[in-house]
Structure 1
Amino acid sequence: MSELPATELLPLPAAGRTFTAERTARLGDVDPNGAVRLDAVARYLQDVATDDALDAGFSNAMGWLVRRSLIRVATPAVLNERLELTTFCTGFGRSWAERRTTVRGANGAEIDGVSLWVQIDVESGRPARLTDEFVEVYGEAAAGRTVSSKFSLDRSPSPDASPMPNPFRATDLDVFGHLNNAAQWALADVVVQQHGLSRAGIGEIEFVTASQVEGEALVVVGEAGFDAWYGAVGATSTVLRWRPLT
């Protein structure tokens, strides 16, 4: 039976490929208090995944789209902090794979992420089956674990949700013509900043369909964090959830 995707923060594999890279938290990554924003964290995770695939010589290194991600921030990174990112595969299915990433900082940052990536044919944009090449590169680290591609967040906005200004711009579009995965975490960070929520927490995001710049954001905020929905009126394309750590 396949595991639910991108819900568990599994440890480093006992064997198999891991990839490590470094980043420095820059001015464009932080909020007014100097803490690294959620969209910047998502970009780090996205970039190190691509770096890994390119380093492995994977023939379809750019042909992946994120379907679901979870980010756990125990201790936020801060401006100019040097970060070490280690990423590895923790399971896969027919056309998708789960990627786990740890982020540790020289000043004590502790951030973990896990995402489900779908492999696509870059010409057609349609899902493509994983190849023997993928299994050869990442199969040992996955250790036979299989994951599904199911969603787990509620796509229907809460009746208590309120509209908020759309935080996205044309510059947030990627080469596929829709809002980039990392850019969409900006919606979560806007809510965190506006409502003074703790940056220590667990965020989840699911991309139901490709999102466009012209959309509507609905948010409900409470003591237990917030839930948000983005998309065209009556058609959710992105679901977000943030829960502070207790």
Structure 2
Amino acid sequence: MTQGLAKTMMPVPDPHPDVFDVQWPLRVADVDREGRLKFDAATRHIQDVGTDQLREMGFEETHPLWIVRRTMIDMIEPILFKDMLRLRRWCSGTSNRWCEMRVRIDGRKGGLVESEAFWININRETQGPARIADDFIEGLRRTTTESRLRWKAYLSSGEREGAEHIRDYPVRVSDIDIFDHMNNSVYWSVVEDFLQSRPELLKAPLRVTIEHDLPVALGDKLEILRHTYPAGSTEKFGAALADRTVTTLTYAVGDEVKAVAAIFAL
């Protein structure tokens, strides 16, 4: 099975009693001008279904704090306004302090979004990675055989000097979440801004991956550095993507890289 940025996501083990399965409507704040479920809205749904599953499993009080290190989203077919969303969530890999969680979003009338996120359990006092309780891990492992999950970055930042475009991204008070940093979904608003200038990318299946290195705080002067790597120009994203055009967005505050996104057609 292909790994890295071109990885093949684990298919949904359906039917399976440990796949969390819920439905709710797609609402007006979730869609763009064409009525398409946006990437930032999809990310909010992915966060929300994770909270709901944590509560359903009975670990919301003992494991309340999680940070996402990487999220990969495949927009296979657009889901459109007024549709009903079916969200299925399950574990695709575990370790004793983190896990990878898959979320599949289907529209009742059509449309499909696939995602996988690398989540780290956080200790409330130390703010560092914390061990996941044995009974929690036991439940997660019912949908996966991967029990030695390790972190490996797929992306590297683009240099300021070689950027084809640099722009400011003002951080608003409304972007800050309960952890006092810019919420994960806001990074995906930057992706949506880019896609407005490249609407042709939305006419076919598209993969977007964001890796987070450091949090963005209110008052930070956030800049977005854009680089485009034409097909055949590099193998920095792996041999499987050497024939694809890949665009990266580097989220930077001064010389400090906060996150990196990669965008390419599937």
Could you state the TM-score of these two structures normalised by the residue count of structure 1?
0.90
- Distance in 1, matches of 2:136 and 2:159, equals 37
Alpha-carbon shift at residue 42 of structure 1 (Å): 0.8
Following superposition, the deviation at residue 146 of structure 1 comes to: 2.6
Q: Match for residue 56 of structure 1?
A: 57
Larger Rg: 2
**1:221 offset after TM fit, Å?**
4.4
CA contact (8 A) 2:158 2:225 kept: no
Match of 1:198, SS?
A: helix
Asked if structure 1 preserves the Cα contact closer than 8 Å seen for 2:72 and 2:208, the reply is yes
76-85 or 157-166: which moved more? 157-166
Deviations along 1:204-232, one digit per CA (max 9) or x if unpaired, are 00001112242111113476352101021
Pairwise mapping of residues 104-183 of structure 1 onto structure 2 (< 5 A)? 104-157=106-159, 159-166=162-169, 168-183=171-186
Contact 1:26 1:80 in 2 (8 A): yes
CA distance in 1, matches of 2:41, 2:170: 15
Tell me whether 9-18 or 174-183 shows the greater mean CA deviation.
9-18
Aligned to 2:240: none
2:37 is matched with 36
Q: Hey, what does 1:91 align to over in structure 2? A: 93
Matched with 1:216 is 223
Cα drift, residue 145 of structure 1 = 3.7
Conserved? CA contact 2:158–2:226, under 8 Å: no
Cα RMSD of the aligned pairs, angstroms, is 2.2
Cα drift, residue 125 of structure 1: 1.6
User: Which residue of structure 2 aligns with residue 12 of structure 1?
Assistant: 12
Q: Which has the higher contact order (CA 8 A, sep 6+)?
A: 1
Q: Structure 2 stretches of 5 or more lacking a match?
A: 231-244
Percent identical:
26
Farther-moved stretch of structure 1 (29-38 vs 150-159): 150-159
Structure 2 residue identity aligned to 1:82: M
Decide whether the 8 Å contact of 1:5 with 1:150 is kept in 2: no
Task: Give the aligned partner of residue 211 of structure 2.
Answer: 206
**CA 61–84 in structure 1, closer or farther in 2 if over 3 Å, else same:** farther
For 1:64-103, list aligned pairs within 5 A: 64-103=66-105
Which shows bigger deviation, 189-198 or 28-37? 189-198
Paired with 1:240 and 1:166, the residues of 2 have a C-alpha distance of 15
Query: Hey, what does 1:24 align to over in structure 2?
Result: 25
Instruction: State yes or no: 1:234 paired with 2:255.
Output: yes
Q: So what's the TM-score if we normalise by structure 2?
A: 0.84
Q: What is the count of residue pairs matched by the alignment?
A: 243
Contact 2:158/2:227 (8 A) holds in 1: no
Indicate the residue corresponding to 1:187 in structure 2: 190
Cα offset for 1:60? 3.2
How far off is 1:8 after superposition? Answer: 3.6
